Amino acid sequence: MFNNLSCDKLKEECGVMGVYRNTMDDVAQMVYYGLFALQHRGQESAGIATNDGNMPYFHKGMGLVNEVFNDEIFRSLKGNIGIGHVRYSTTGESYINNAQPLVVKYRRGSIGLAHNGNLVNAPLIRSGLEDDGVVFQTTIDSEVIVNLIARYSSDGIPTAIERTMDLIKGAYSLVIMTEGELIGVRDPHGLRPLCIGKLEDGYVIASESCGLDSVGAELIRDVEPGEIVIINQEGIRSIKLNKEYKKASCIFEYIYFARPDSVIDGVGVYQARKNAGEILAKEHPVEVDMVIAVPDTSIPAAIGYSEALGIPFSEGFIKNRYIGRTFIQPDQSMRELAVRLKLNPLRSNIIGKRVVMIDDSIVRGTTSKQIVNTLKRAGAKEVHVRISSPPVAYSCYYGIDTPDNKQLIGAVKTIEEIRQAIGADSLGYISPEGLKRSVGIANDPYCTACFCGDYPLEIPLR
Ligand SMILES: O=P(O)(O)OC[C@H]1O[C@H](OP(=O)(O)OP(=O)(O)O)[C@H](O)[C@@H]1O
Ligand SMILES: NC(=O)CC[C@H](N)C(=O)O
Ligand SMILES: [Mg+2]
């Protein structure tokens, strides 16, 4: 029932994966394992494209990776170079034609491309290309990128990518495949993550290091902001854009998107979440009997909070793991039903207790409102809420796809009004400074626009 419904809350991010092997062994199955590990980043569609040096092969479908692929399909995906994508749509509808990777043939060969992120100037470039007679097959921003690369390819693909990067603005972590190369590209601000792993006979590029782990690749480093990494028979080489940009990696990756076992830009996601919980405890302590998490994302923060105050951590909810992250139609009653199906209180643990419930974020307020009420109905004496990110008050244009400002409860209500709206006995959010400390890097290389409105690059005209 739920797989067909579109997400209407905090959107996930796409996941990309690329594998290059020096041997002629097929890589499709390795790409599949990587996508499986990155499934949390997108559940609408999945695709794999490979190349055996002569021609591209690809298969895409709507749904989860294990619904889209089977052994027969793997046999048809030949080649020692492969890329893959799990999608959560940010530009363009969620239907098969918009599934990635995109594979195009142009006069010098073929290009496969998988994109995580969102461009802010794609409509402008697209209409310019359309004026020149270019025909688009999809409605996604990513097709603009592949078109520009093909257009500029006369001096080779790396140069074409550099020229394309001069034109496109926004968030993009890309894996690109040609007849003989796997290429990783990260936008000049490093908005979305991308890392490189080493295999005995090749390399892997993935959105998160958990994708590398799934195929036994060793994390060697992240693709740097503004870097193009080219992998071919000669090995690995890098081109850095000849410009200075302010690094602005999305801090929400640490708060919510990424898997806790991933390491992004040298910072472990689990540790960052736990640190946030400890800092939150110092900023907003409370006297209660028990700390509980909203599973799964906020568990590390809840453990950090519990350890910092010496209050026991226990399970307050059982999560139905078969529903997926968030999914439901844009209708408030359906959204509430979804939360109820997903999180059921563990009555025996909470009855008669004063609890503090830790969650990673409040976006519209649907989840908090409903589960505070659930805990109270289940017999909790007091329900205090602590949030391991600051109030989300500004829309994101670089891939999170949070709703219009007016739907963000943090944009339209004060913290006291939010407390009343969700029915909590007290409410505390981590400060922006505290959040930055939780990721442990002092010189502030993060995008915090959704909390502070300090957008690292222009926002699109609507
Ligand atoms: O204020 P809201 O609009 O309800 O959004 C906030 C909630 O959305 C996310 O959870 P989600 O249920 O999307 O997924 P999760 O199970 O991965 O935490 C996030 O972890 C918060 O719990
Ligand atoms: N979530 C993403 O990274 C989406 C990538 C691309 N903008 C799309 O809509 O397909
Ligand atoms: Mg949640």
**Which of 9, 320, 373 has the most ligand 1 atoms within 8 A of CB, as the residue to mutate?**
9
Domain limit, last residue, from 245, 278, 304: 245
The answer to whether residue 250 is domain-embedded is: no
Closest CA to 52 of 78, 31, 28: 78
220 located within any domain? yes
Does 207 sit in the ligand 2 pocket, CB within 6 Å?
no
Write out the residue range of the structural domain in which residue 7 sits: 2-245
Are residues 208 and 174 part of one domain?
yes
63-67, 362-366, 402-406: range with lowest mean pLDDT: 402-406
Residue 457 lies in a domain: no
**Residue 418 domain-assigned?**
yes
Q: Are residues 328 and 433 in the same domain?
A: yes
Residues 448 and 252: their CA atoms lie apart, in Å, by 8
Both 224 and 295 in one domain: the answer is: no
Strand partners of residue 344: 318
3-state secondary structure of 315: coil
Note whether 80 and 112 are same-domain residues.
yes
Say whether both 20 and 87 belong to one domain: yes
Query: Is the same domain home to 226 and 282?
Result: no
Q: Which among 296, 282, 370 has a CA at the least distance from the CA of 328?
A: 370
Token representation of residue 418: 């939010």
Is 446 within a domain? no
* Residues 220, 328 within the same domain: no
Same domain, 61 and 106: yes
pLDDT tens digits, 35-84: 999 999 999 999 999 999 999 999 999 999 999 999 999 999 999 999 99
Check: CB of residue 154 under 8 Å from CB of residue 107.
no
Token pair, residue 389, equals 């990110």
Tens digit of each residue's pLDDT (9 = 90 or more) over 284-306: 999 999 999 999 999 999 999 99
Considering the domain architecture, whether residues 333 and 239 belong to the same structural domain is answered as: no
Q: Binding site for Mg(2+): which residues?
A: 297, 359-360
Query: Residue 456 domain-assigned?
Result: no
Does 158 fall in a domain? yes
| Distance from the alpha carbon of residue 238 to the mean position of ligand 3, in angstroms | 38
Selected residue with higher pLDDT from 8 and 70: 70
- Are residues 165 and 281 located together in one domain of the fold? no
**Nearest C-alpha to atom 18 of ligand 1 is from which residue?**
297
CA distance linking residue 387 with residue 391, whole number of Å: 8
**How far does Cα 187 stand from its chain's mean position?**
15
pTM of the model: 0.94
Cα–Cα distance measured from residue 360 to residue 368, given in angstroms and rounded to the nearest whole number: 11
Active site residues: 14
Residue 214 and residue 363 in one domain? no
Same domain, 32 and 64: yes
The answer to whether position 286 is within a domain reads yes
Q: 45 CB under 6 A from ligand 2?
A: no
- Please count the structural domains in the chain: 2
DSSP string covering 362-396, please?
-SSSHHHHHHHHHHHHTT-SEEEEEESS----S--
Separation of 297 CA from ligand 1 center, angstroms? Answer: 9
The string of pLDDT tens digits covering residues 118-144 is 999 999 999 999 999 999 999 999 999
Here the CATH number for the domain that contains residue 59 is: 3.60.20.10
Residues 409, 363 contacting (CB under 8 angstroms): yes
For the cut 70, the answer to whether the pLDDT of residue 439 exceeds it is yes
Q: Which ligand approaches the C-alpha of residue 122 most closely?
A: 2
What confidence tier does 225 reach under pLDDT thresholds 50, 70, 90? Answer: very high
Q: Residue 459: is its pLDDT beyond 90? A: no
Distance CA 194, CA 211 (A): 10
Give the model's pLDDT for residue 442.
60
**pLDDT value of residue 457:** 84
CATH label of the domain that carries residue 287 = 3.40.50.2020
- Phi and psi of 281, rounded to 5°? -65, -40
Rounded mean pLDDT, 393-399: 88
* Residue 16 pLDDT class (50, 70, 90 cuts): very high
The ipTM is 0.97
